[in-house]
Amino acid sequence: NITCAKTDAMLASPDHTISLIAPAKINLALHVTGRREDGYHLLDSLVVFARFGDRLSVRKAAADSFTLSGPYGTGLPVDDTNLVVRARDALRRQYGEQATPVAIHLEKHLPVASGIGGGSSDAAAALRALTALWGIDVSPVKLAALGLPLGADVPMCLHGETLIARGIGEDIERIAAFPRLPLVLVNNGVTVSTPQVFSVLARRDNPPLPRLPSLTCLDDICTYLGQTENHLFAATETLAPSINDSMQALRDTNPLMARMSGSGGTCFAIYPDDETAETAATRLRQSQPSWFVVATSTTVEGN
44, 54, 153, 161: which one contacts ligand C5P (CB under 6 A)? Answer: 153
DSSP string across 27-79: EEEEEEEEE-TTSPEEEEEEEEEEEEEEEEEEEE-SS-EEEEESTT-TT---S
Q: Report the alpha-carbon distance of residue 152 to residue 41 in Å, rounded.
A: 10
The answer to whether 122 is a known catalytic residue is: no
Closer CB to ligand C5P, 43 or 183, in the complex: 43
Indicate whether 126 belongs to the interface with ligand C5P (CB under 6 A). no
Whether 112 and 266 have beta carbons less than 8 Å apart is answered as: no
Closer CB to ligand C5P, 160 or 182, in the complex: 160
**Is 135 one of the annotated binding-site residues?**
no
Indicate whether 168 belongs to the interface with ligand C5P (CB under 6 A). yes
Give the closest residue to 169 by CA, choosing from 52, 300, 33, 51: 33
Structural element, H or E, at residue 220: helix 218-226
Considering the complex, what minimum distance in angstroms separates the CB of residue 109 from ligand C5P? 20
Write the binding mask 189 to 228 for ligand C5P: x where contact by CB under 6 A, - elsewhere. Answer: -----xx--x------------------------------
- Which of 44, 54, 122, 153 is catalytic? The answer is 153
Chain mean position to CA 71: 17
Closer CB to ligand C5P, 168 or 257, in the complex: 168
20, 21, 30, 43: which one contacts ligand C5P (CB under 6 A)? Answer: 43
Indicate whether 235 belongs to the interface with ligand C5P (CB under 6 A). no
Closer CB to ligand C5P, 106 or 156, in the complex: 156
Whether 268 and 261 have beta carbons less than 8 Å apart is answered as: yes
CA distances from 221 to 48, 174, 192, 210 (A): 12, 16, 28, 12
Chain mean position to CA 166: 16
Considering the complex, what minimum distance in angstroms separates the CB of residue 261 from ligand C5P? 14
The answer to whether 245 is a known catalytic residue is: no
Task: Report DSSP state, residue 298.
Answer: B
CA distances from 88 to 44, 124, 142 (A): 29, 10, 15
Considering the complex, what minimum distance in angstroms separates the CB of residue 168 from ligand C5P? 4
Q: Which residues, including other chains, have CB under 8 Å from residue 224's CB and lie 6 or more apart?
A: 210, 212, 213, 215
| Backbone φ and ψ of 12, nearest 5° | -105, 120
Stretch that binds ligand C5P, among 14-22, 150-158, 219-227, 272-280 (CB under 6 A): 150-158
Stretch that binds ligand C5P, among 5-13, 89-97, 98-106, 151-159 (CB under 6 A): 151-159
- Which of 25, 44, 54, 122 is catalytic? The answer is 25
* 3-state class (DSSP) for residue 227: coil
Closer CB to ligand C5P, 157 or 185, in the complex: 157
Indicate whether 152 belongs to the interface with ligand C5P (CB under 6 A). yes
Indicate whether 291 belongs to the interface with ligand C5P (CB under 6 A). no
Whether 229 and 29 have beta carbons less than 8 Å apart is answered as: yes
Stretch that binds ligand C5P, among 52-60, 70-78, 94-102, 148-156 (CB under 6 A): 148-156
Active site residues: 25, 153
* Residues near ligand C5P (CB under 6 A): 40-41, 43, 151-153, 168-169, 194-195, 198
